[in-house]
Amino acid sequence: MEGLKRILREKDHTGLQFLKYVTCGGVAFATDLTVFYLLAVSVFPSLTPNDIAVQLFGLDVEPISESVRLRNFWIGKTSSFIGANAVAYALNVLFVFKGGKHKVHHEVALFFAVSFVAFLLGTWSGDILIRFFGIQTTFSNLTAIVFATLINYTGRKFFIFQG
């Protein structure tokens, strides 16, 4: 148990740091997916009957227009962004990065600013895939998440926290 506590507190070892970042990112990713799909299925419909998530989980969805799907995709992504980033910030501060490079309120603001840039670029990539290529919502969502992850790690490691 002491070994696990030591690993969780260690923030200088690059290999452990990246492993913990990926693990914490996995929790934030699960939060993002959960919020997005709960909304996409029940509150802001954005899945089509041929979407892989609909087929995989045997969901019953009504057909929707492309304009409604696109609008609801943005609403769902915005909501999941807020939830996932709140989780990501808390876990990153607790387990991954050393704070203190900035005052806490600046750190939080920078964290969300970098995440917001990543969110916009990622979600616009998903928007383009939906709008111009008719790609399924699920694939567009996953593309947005991968794109945002790469931007977030770089911004957090080099600009927000103390390495």
> What whole-number percentage of the chain has pLDDT above 90?
52
Q: Which residue has the higher pLDDT, 161 or 83?
A: 83
> What pLDDT, on the 0 to 100 scale, is given for residue 72?
96
- Chain centre distance of CA 88: 8
Both structure tokens of 141: 């969502």
Q: Which residues contact 25 (CB under 8 A, 6 or more apart)?
A: 88, 149, 153
Q: Does residue 137 contact residue 46 with C-beta atoms inside 8 Å?
A: yes
The model's pLDDT over 147-158, given as tens digits with 9 standing for 90+, comes to: 888 888 888 888
Q: What is the pLDDT of residue 40?
A: 96
pLDDT at 151: 87
Task: Look at 146 and 130; give whichever has higher pLDDT.
Answer: 130
- 3 has pLDDT over 80: no
For residue 163, the model assigns a pLDDT of: 60
pTM, to two decimals: 0.78
- SS3 state at 62: coil
What pLDDT score was predicted for residue 75? 97
The encoded tokens of residue 82 equal 């807020």
- pLDDT tens digits for range 67-104: 999 999 999 999 998 999 899 999 988 888 877 788 88
* Whole-number Cα distances in Å, 72 to 43, 44, 77, 146: 9, 5, 8, 20
- With a CB cutoff of 8 Å and minimum separation 6, the contacts of 98 are 11, 12, 161, 162, 163
Residue with tokens 């990926």: 22
Distance from first CA to last CA of the chain, Å, rounded? Answer: 26
Convert the pLDDT of each residue in 12-48 to its tens digit: 777 788 888 889 989 998 999 999 999 999 999 999 9
